[in-house]
């Protein structure tokens, strides 16, 4: 409990396997978690349904063109299970402007339809939140993220989803013990950033990817993933 959300604090926490979560009412101390069993998505284990595979052709994927809008949409107070407060929005906005936090966005006809954001440090991508305004848009963003991470270092990259839920499990997420997560984290932190995050292009065009079947994940218990 405690500490601040300054960029150096956040980066030090992620490098040690910790992530923050507001602990209660505004002004209460920040809570920091390193779960005993950690949810991750193996990059070679993502499951994508036929309908989602078709949906990937309907959206344009962009990276870091609307980060603040993605976070604001994830923080919409009308969504159940919301946890993103103004302090969190400000903190991750600062990380983004320093080049550490990134958004993967699904666009259709010039409108932001859904997306996700998280923190990228070397080979770690710590997913924080996702949202959709159109069917399958957040799932398409997740498929694009996995594609972005699936490069020559994919075997040691780490896509952290923090907590496992039934929906995440149906998508291919698994739980690993804390010790195994921390060993994988140590390897991932030694890797270079994926090219899309180290030199962000304004758009990736009609990015698409095929894979086996599986539905969209819901969020972890502490926070709503598609939120």
Of 189, 221, 193, 191, whose CA–CA distance to 16 is shortest? 189
Q: Residue 70 burial by CB count (10 A; 0-12/13-18/19+): exposed, middle or buried?
A: buried
Q: Concatenated DSSP letters for 66-96?
A: SHHHHHHHHT-TTSTT----HHHHHHHHHHH
Which of 133-137, 173-177, 216-220 has the least mean pLDDT? 216-220
Q: What is the pLDDT of residue 93?
A: 96
Determine the pLDDT at residue 25: 72
The answer to whether the Cα torsion of 168, 224, 21, 140 is positive or negative is positive
**Count of other CB atoms within 10 angstroms of residue 212:** 12
Average pLDDT over every residue of 70-90: 83
Is the pLDDT score of 31 beyond 70? yes
Helices 86-97 & 7-15 angle (0-180, nearest 10): 80
Query: Region 203-217: what's the mean pLDDT?
Result: 35
Edge-to-edge, what's the strand order for the sheet holding 101-108?
A: 60-63, 101-108, 111-121, 124-132, 158-162, 37-40, 174-177
Structure confidence at residue 80 (pLDDT) = 62
What average pLDDT score do residues 50-58 get? 92
Average pLDDT of span 72-81: 78
pLDDT at residue 21, rounded to an integer: 87
Q: Which residue has the higher pLDDT, 25 or 57?
A: 57
Measured distance between the N- and C-terminal CA atoms of the chain, rounded to whole angstroms:
24
Whether 198 and 153 have beta carbons less than 8 Å apart is answered as: no
Mean pLDDT of the chain: 85
208 pLDDT band (50/70/90 cuts)?
Answer: very low
Angle CA 69–221–53, to nearest 5? 60
Q: How far is CA 167 from CA 68, 172, 212, in A?
A: 27, 9, 15
Is 84 or 226 the better-scoring residue by pLDDT?
84
- Specify burial of residue 118 (Cβ count, 10 A radius: 0-12, 13-18, 19+): buried
């Amino acid at each position: 409990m405690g500490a601040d959300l300054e960029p150096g604090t956040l980066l030090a926490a992620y490098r040690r396997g910790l992530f923050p979560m507001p602990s209660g009412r505004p002004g209460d101390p920040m809570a920091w978690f390193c779960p005993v069993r950690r949810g991750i998505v193996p990059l070679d284990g993502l499951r994508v349904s036929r309908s989602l595979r078709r949906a990937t052709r309907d959206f344009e994927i962009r990276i870091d063109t609307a980060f603040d809008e993605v976070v604001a949409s994830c923080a919409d107070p009308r969504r159940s299970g919301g946890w993103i407060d103004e302090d969190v929005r400000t903190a991750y906005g600062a990380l983004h402007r320093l080049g550490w936090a990134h958004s993967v966005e699904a666009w259709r006809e010039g409108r932001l339809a859904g997306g996700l954001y998280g923190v990228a440090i070397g080979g770690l991508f710590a997913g924080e939140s996702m949202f959709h305004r159109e069917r399958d848009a957040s799932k398409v963003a997740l498929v694009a993220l996995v594609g972005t991470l699936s490069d020559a270092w994919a075997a040691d990259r780490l896509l952290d989803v923090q907590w496992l839920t039934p929906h995440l499990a149906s998508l291919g997420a698994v739980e690993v013990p804390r010790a195994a997560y921390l060993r994988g984290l140590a390897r991932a932190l030694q890797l270079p950033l994926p090219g899309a995050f180290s030199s962000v292009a304004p758009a990736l065009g009609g990015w698409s990817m095929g894979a086996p079947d599986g539905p969209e994940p819901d969020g972890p218990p502490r926070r709503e993933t598609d939120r």
